[in-house]
Amino acid sequence: MRAELDTRDLGLVAYPEAMALQDALVEQRVRNEIGDTLLLLEHPPVVTLGRRGSLSDVYVSEADLARRGIGVQHTTRGGLVTYHGPGQLVGYPIVHLRQRGLTVPCYVRALELAIVDSLAEIGIAARLDPNHIGVWTQDHGKIAAIGVAQRHGVTLHGFAINLQPDLSHFDLINPCGIGNLGVTSAARLLGHPVDMPRFKGRITAALDEQLTAVACR
């Protein structure tokens, strides 16, 4: 039986507010008060540091970031340092892995494949990299980042797809510790902005499909 995602389109949400909402939803999901849920949103400009993140991967001071209108947040997701901002579609799936019989690596693969499928629908040939988590383009670098966590078998955090963010903000950090590999966006590759509402529909359908079909349980 297909387990469809309850998708909530939240618009622009401050990072701490999104974290608080995820925390509350995870507790509800653990108690089976809600079903699997996907939060789709954008963040105001913010640099986030994962559990292994360090300010050594941020090339300017917090004061300089503040002058540019960019916040700094420590977070509980896996990974190092990344950037979120308007034009980047962020997805936070609250998914009960144990009930779906998924391991964390299989879940991450489902996220990656859903993003690849969604980008293919708008004409972007994206791919996976066996050495690095996330979604990549052939010659232009990373187009989507993934950083997850789980509590009692329920996921939080998730993915960030560069549809049309200000890519210059990535120059202020060493994203995911591999900034030398490059960062790109759908708008840069296509030469025009992406219809974000339509893309949200695509990623929702693709993720629901991949979470059901992923073969590496």
Check if 216 is active-site: no
The active-site residue, picked from 47, 95, 144, 176, is 176
3-state secondary structure of 113: helix
- Which is nearest to 77 in space by CA: 171, 11, 157, 7? 157
**Does residue 142 contact residue 175 with C-beta atoms inside 8 Å?**
yes
Alpha-carbon distance of 147 to 15, in angstroms, equals 15
Give the contacts of 11 (CB within 8 A, at least 6 positions apart).
41, 42
Length of the chain, please? Answer: 217
Residue with tokens 């913010």: 46
In sequence order, what are the beta bridge partners of 91? 40, 159
Residues taking part in catalysis = 176
